[in-house]
Chains A and B, each alone.
Chain A
Amino acid sequence: MDENLKKTEQQLDSESMKGAKNRRLILGILLVIGGLFYLSIGLGIFPESWNINAWRFWPLIVVFAGLGMISAKHWFSIIIGIITAVIIIGLAALAIFYNVSK
Protein backbone atom coordinates (compact mmCIF):
# COMPACT_ATOMS: atom_id res chain seq x y z
CA MET A 1 0.00 0.00 0.00
CA ASP A 2 2.76 2.38 0.99
CA GLU A 3 4.76 1.53 -2.09
CA ASN A 4 1.73 2.14 -4.27
CA LEU A 5 1.28 5.57 -2.79
CA LYS A 6 4.93 6.37 -3.44
CA LYS A 7 4.53 5.25 -7.05
CA THR A 8 1.42 7.42 -7.41
CA GLU A 9 3.20 10.46 -6.09
CA GLN A 10 6.16 9.87 -8.35
CA GLN A 11 3.88 9.55 -11.35
CA LEU A 12 1.97 12.71 -10.48
CA ASP A 13 5.27 14.53 -10.04
CA SER A 14 6.62 13.43 -13.40
CA GLU A 15 3.29 14.36 -15.02
CA SER A 16 3.30 17.90 -13.68
CA MET A 17 7.00 18.20 -14.47
CA LYS A 18 6.30 17.23 -18.06
CA GLY A 19 3.62 19.92 -18.24
CA ALA A 20 6.00 22.51 -16.84
CA LYS A 21 8.64 21.42 -19.35
CA ASN A 22 6.31 21.92 -22.31
CA ARG A 23 5.19 25.30 -21.04
CA ARG A 24 8.78 26.37 -20.46
CA LEU A 25 9.76 25.31 -23.97
CA ILE A 26 7.02 27.36 -25.67
CA LEU A 27 7.54 30.33 -23.33
CA GLY A 28 11.31 30.19 -23.94
CA ILE A 29 10.96 30.07 -27.73
CA LEU A 30 8.52 33.01 -27.74
CA LEU A 31 10.72 35.06 -25.40
CA VAL A 32 13.85 34.44 -27.51
CA ILE A 33 12.00 35.41 -30.74
CA GLY A 34 10.50 38.51 -29.06
CA GLY A 35 13.87 39.52 -27.63
CA LEU A 36 15.61 39.12 -30.99
CA PHE A 37 12.84 41.19 -32.61
CA TYR A 38 13.20 44.14 -30.24
CA LEU A 39 17.02 43.85 -30.38
CA SER A 40 16.87 44.07 -34.18
CA ILE A 41 14.79 47.24 -33.95
CA GLY A 42 17.24 48.65 -31.43
CA LEU A 43 20.20 47.85 -33.69
CA GLY A 44 18.45 49.36 -36.71
CA ILE A 45 18.12 46.10 -38.67
CA PHE A 46 14.32 46.42 -38.64
CA PRO A 47 12.70 49.84 -39.20
CA GLU A 48 11.48 51.80 -36.18
CA SER A 49 7.91 51.67 -37.55
CA TRP A 50 7.78 47.96 -36.73
CA ASN A 51 7.96 48.71 -33.01
CA ILE A 52 4.95 47.50 -30.99
CA ASN A 53 4.46 48.34 -27.34
CA ALA A 54 5.31 45.08 -25.57
CA TRP A 55 2.50 45.71 -23.03
CA ARG A 56 -0.02 44.98 -25.74
CA PHE A 57 0.98 41.32 -25.42
CA TRP A 58 -0.34 41.14 -21.84
CA PRO A 59 -3.07 38.56 -22.66
CA LEU A 60 -0.23 36.05 -23.13
CA ILE A 61 -0.40 35.69 -19.32
CA VAL A 62 -3.93 34.29 -19.70
CA VAL A 63 -2.84 32.10 -22.62
CA PHE A 64 -0.02 30.56 -20.58
CA ALA A 65 -2.29 30.02 -17.58
CA GLY A 66 -4.58 28.00 -19.88
CA LEU A 67 -1.68 26.16 -21.47
CA GLY A 68 -0.29 25.20 -18.07
CA MET A 69 -3.61 23.65 -17.06
CA ILE A 70 -3.72 21.23 -19.98
CA SER A 71 -2.14 17.91 -19.06
CA ALA A 72 1.01 17.32 -21.04
CA LYS A 73 1.05 13.54 -21.32
CA HIS A 74 -1.36 13.46 -24.26
CA TRP A 75 -0.26 14.07 -27.83
CA PHE A 76 -3.25 16.35 -28.35
CA SER A 77 -1.90 18.79 -25.77
CA ILE A 78 1.37 19.07 -27.68
CA ILE A 79 -0.52 19.85 -30.91
CA ILE A 80 -2.51 22.54 -29.08
CA GLY A 81 0.75 24.01 -27.78
CA ILE A 82 2.24 24.14 -31.29
CA ILE A 83 -0.96 25.66 -32.78
CA THR A 84 -1.00 28.26 -30.00
CA ALA A 85 2.62 29.23 -30.67
CA VAL A 86 1.92 29.54 -34.43
CA ILE A 87 -1.20 31.67 -33.78
CA ILE A 88 0.71 33.98 -31.42
CA ILE A 89 3.57 34.47 -33.90
CA GLY A 90 1.06 34.96 -36.74
CA LEU A 91 -0.89 37.56 -34.75
CA ALA A 92 2.33 39.40 -33.90
CA ALA A 93 3.35 39.44 -37.59
CA LEU A 94 -0.12 40.70 -38.61
CA ALA A 95 0.07 43.39 -35.93
CA ILE A 96 3.36 44.65 -37.39
CA PHE A 97 1.81 45.00 -40.86
CA TYR A 98 -1.31 46.59 -39.34
CA ASN A 99 0.96 49.06 -37.55
CA VAL A 100 3.02 49.86 -40.67
CA SER A 101 0.04 50.27 -43.00
CA LYS A 102 -1.67 52.69 -40.62
Chain B
Amino acid sequence: MVYFGKIYNFIKSMPKESPAKKLYRSKTNRIIFGICGGLGEYFKMDPLIFRILFILLGLLQGIGILLYLILAFVIPGGTDNTAGEEQDKDFVEKISKNARGLADEVTDKNSWLSSPRNMLGLIILIIGLMLLTQSLFPGVFVGTFIAIILPLAIIIVGAAFIIKKK
Protein backbone atom coordinates (compact mmCIF):
# COMPACT_ATOMS: atom_id res chain seq x y z
CA MET B 1 0.00 0.00 0.00
CA VAL B 2 2.02 2.91 -1.31
CA TYR B 3 -0.86 5.30 -0.85
CA PHE B 4 -1.61 4.34 2.72
CA GLY B 5 0.16 7.24 4.39
CA LYS B 6 -1.12 9.70 1.86
CA ILE B 7 -4.67 8.44 2.22
CA TYR B 8 -4.51 8.54 5.99
CA ASN B 9 -3.38 12.18 5.87
CA PHE B 10 -6.09 12.94 3.35
CA ILE B 11 -8.81 11.46 5.54
CA LYS B 12 -7.46 13.28 8.59
CA SER B 13 -7.37 16.58 6.75
CA MET B 14 -10.96 16.23 5.56
CA PRO B 15 -13.52 18.54 7.14
CA LYS B 16 -15.87 16.90 9.64
CA GLU B 17 -18.91 17.64 7.54
CA SER B 18 -18.18 17.00 3.90
CA PRO B 19 -19.79 19.49 1.50
CA ALA B 20 -22.64 18.43 -0.78
CA LYS B 21 -21.66 16.53 -3.90
CA LYS B 22 -21.65 18.89 -6.86
CA LEU B 23 -22.49 18.26 -10.46
CA TYR B 24 -20.01 19.69 -12.95
CA ARG B 25 -19.42 19.41 -16.64
CA SER B 26 -16.49 17.05 -17.02
CA LYS B 27 -13.30 18.40 -18.50
CA THR B 28 -11.50 15.10 -18.73
CA ASN B 29 -14.38 13.10 -20.19
CA ARG B 30 -16.03 15.31 -22.75
CA ILE B 31 -17.24 14.99 -26.31
CA ILE B 32 -19.37 18.13 -26.70
CA PHE B 33 -19.91 20.00 -23.41
CA GLY B 34 -18.94 17.21 -21.01
CA ILE B 35 -22.50 16.81 -19.69
CA CYS B 36 -22.57 13.02 -19.98
CA GLY B 37 -19.06 12.73 -18.54
CA GLY B 38 -20.06 14.93 -15.60
CA LEU B 39 -23.22 12.93 -15.00
CA GLY B 40 -21.15 9.75 -15.12
CA GLU B 41 -18.73 11.12 -12.52
CA TYR B 42 -21.62 12.30 -10.32
CA PHE B 43 -23.49 9.00 -10.40
CA LYS B 44 -20.29 6.90 -10.64
CA MET B 45 -21.41 5.28 -13.86
CA ASP B 46 -20.17 4.79 -17.38
CA PRO B 47 -20.88 8.04 -19.31
CA LEU B 48 -21.68 5.87 -22.34
CA ILE B 49 -25.05 5.01 -20.74
CA PHE B 50 -25.94 8.71 -20.59
CA ARG B 51 -24.73 9.29 -24.15
CA ILE B 52 -26.98 6.49 -25.43
CA LEU B 53 -29.92 7.87 -23.46
CA PHE B 54 -29.43 11.39 -24.82
CA ILE B 55 -29.19 10.07 -28.39
CA LEU B 56 -32.36 7.98 -27.93
CA LEU B 57 -34.15 11.01 -26.46
CA GLY B 58 -32.77 13.13 -29.30
CA LEU B 59 -34.51 10.86 -31.79
CA LEU B 60 -37.80 11.75 -30.09
CA GLN B 61 -38.64 15.11 -31.67
CA GLY B 62 -35.24 16.42 -30.55
CA ILE B 63 -36.13 16.43 -26.87
CA GLY B 64 -32.74 15.00 -25.96
CA ILE B 65 -30.98 17.82 -27.79
CA LEU B 66 -33.10 20.44 -26.01
CA LEU B 67 -32.46 18.78 -22.65
CA TYR B 68 -28.72 18.61 -23.35
CA LEU B 69 -28.57 22.31 -24.20
CA ILE B 70 -30.54 23.24 -21.07
CA LEU B 71 -28.18 21.17 -18.94
CA ALA B 72 -25.19 22.77 -20.66
CA PHE B 73 -26.48 26.18 -19.51
CA VAL B 74 -27.43 25.11 -16.00
CA ILE B 75 -24.43 22.96 -15.01
CA PRO B 76 -21.24 24.90 -14.29
CA GLY B 77 -17.93 23.96 -15.87
CA GLY B 78 -15.67 21.71 -13.83
CA THR B 79 -12.09 22.08 -12.70
CA ASP B 80 -9.26 19.79 -13.71
CA ASN B 81 -8.60 16.91 -11.37
CA THR B 82 -5.17 15.32 -11.06
CA ALA B 83 -5.00 11.55 -11.12
CA GLY B 84 -3.69 11.21 -7.57
CA GLU B 85 -6.48 13.26 -6.07
CA GLU B 86 -9.00 11.24 -8.02
CA GLN B 87 -7.64 7.99 -6.60
CA ASP B 88 -7.74 9.25 -3.03
CA LYS B 89 -11.25 10.51 -3.57
CA ASP B 90 -12.38 7.15 -4.95
CA PHE B 91 -10.96 5.34 -1.96
CA VAL B 92 -12.60 7.65 0.55
CA GLU B 93 -15.89 7.58 -1.32
CA LYS B 94 -15.86 3.78 -1.40
CA ILE B 95 -15.41 3.63 2.35
CA SER B 96 -18.00 6.27 3.10
CA LYS B 97 -20.42 4.55 0.73
CA ASN B 98 -19.90 1.32 2.60
CA ALA B 99 -20.53 3.04 5.92
CA ARG B 100 -23.62 4.74 4.56
CA GLY B 101 -24.90 1.48 3.11
CA LEU B 102 -24.49 -0.29 6.44
CA ALA B 103 -26.13 2.59 8.28
CA ASP B 104 -29.03 2.53 5.84
CA GLU B 105 -29.52 -1.17 6.36
CA VAL B 106 -29.44 -0.87 10.12
CA THR B 107 -31.48 2.28 10.73
CA ASP B 108 -33.37 3.86 7.87
CA LYS B 109 -35.39 1.79 5.45
CA ASN B 110 -37.16 4.82 3.97
CA SER B 111 -34.10 6.48 2.44
CA TRP B 112 -34.71 4.93 -0.97
CA LEU B 113 -35.75 8.20 -2.58
CA SER B 114 -32.83 10.13 -1.07
CA SER B 115 -30.36 8.27 -3.29
CA PRO B 116 -29.84 10.37 -6.45
CA ARG B 117 -29.05 7.23 -8.40
CA ASN B 118 -32.39 5.65 -7.55
CA MET B 119 -34.23 8.88 -8.43
CA LEU B 120 -32.47 9.10 -11.78
CA GLY B 121 -33.23 5.44 -12.46
CA LEU B 122 -36.88 6.01 -11.64
CA ILE B 123 -37.10 9.09 -13.89
CA ILE B 124 -35.49 7.22 -16.79
CA LEU B 125 -37.82 4.29 -16.15
CA ILE B 126 -40.87 6.59 -16.34
CA ILE B 127 -39.57 8.28 -19.51
CA GLY B 128 -39.05 4.82 -21.02
CA LEU B 129 -42.61 3.77 -20.19
CA MET B 130 -43.93 7.05 -21.66
CA LEU B 131 -41.95 6.42 -24.84
CA LEU B 132 -43.32 2.87 -24.96
CA THR B 133 -46.89 4.16 -24.67
CA GLN B 134 -46.22 6.65 -27.43
CA SER B 135 -44.66 3.98 -29.63
CA LEU B 136 -47.51 1.50 -29.16
CA PHE B 137 -50.37 4.03 -29.40
CA PRO B 138 -49.24 6.60 -31.95
CA GLY B 139 -51.38 9.70 -31.94
CA VAL B 140 -53.01 9.01 -28.58
CA PHE B 141 -50.09 10.05 -26.44
CA VAL B 142 -47.98 12.35 -28.64
CA GLY B 143 -50.62 15.07 -28.38
CA THR B 144 -50.49 15.27 -24.58
CA PHE B 145 -46.72 15.07 -24.52
CA ILE B 146 -46.15 17.93 -26.97
CA ALA B 147 -49.08 20.00 -25.69
CA ILE B 148 -48.62 19.70 -21.93
CA ILE B 149 -45.49 17.99 -20.62
CA LEU B 150 -42.92 19.73 -22.83
CA PRO B 151 -44.25 23.31 -22.25
CA LEU B 152 -44.43 22.54 -18.51
CA ALA B 153 -40.78 21.49 -18.55
CA ILE B 154 -39.81 24.72 -20.31
CA ILE B 155 -41.81 26.80 -17.80
CA ILE B 156 -40.14 25.04 -14.86
CA VAL B 157 -36.68 25.67 -16.32
CA GLY B 158 -37.56 29.32 -16.92
CA ALA B 159 -38.90 29.71 -13.37
CA ALA B 160 -35.72 28.14 -12.03
CA PHE B 161 -33.68 30.77 -13.89
CA ILE B 162 -35.81 33.60 -12.46
CA ILE B 163 -35.59 32.27 -8.88
CA LYS B 164 -31.84 31.75 -9.23
CA LYS B 165 -31.35 35.34 -10.42
CA LYS B 166 -32.89 36.81 -7.27
Contacts and interface: CB of A to CB of B under 8 A. Distances in A.
**Chain A bound to chain B:** yes
Given A8-B95, A69-B45, A71-B117, A98 B136 contact: yes
Interface stretch (B13-21, B24-32, B68-76, B123-131): B123-131
A11 B104 CA distance: 14
Contacts of A91: 129, 132-133, 136
Interface stretch (B49-57, B80-88, B153-161): B49-57
A39 to B, nearest CB: 20
B129 A92 contact: no
B129 A84 contact: yes
A64 to B, nearest CB: 8
A51 interface: no
Interface residues of A, number: 41
A27 interface: no
Given A11-B98, A69-B118, A77-B112, A63 B136 contact: no
A65 B94 CA distance: 23
23 contacts: A1-B4, A11-B101, A59-B128, A59-B130, A60-B128, A63-B124, A63-B128, A63-B129, A65-B49, A65-B128, A66-B120, A66-B121, A67-B125, A69-B45, A69-B121, A70-B118, A70-B125, A73-B101, A74-B112, A80-B125, A84-B125, A92-B136, A94-B137
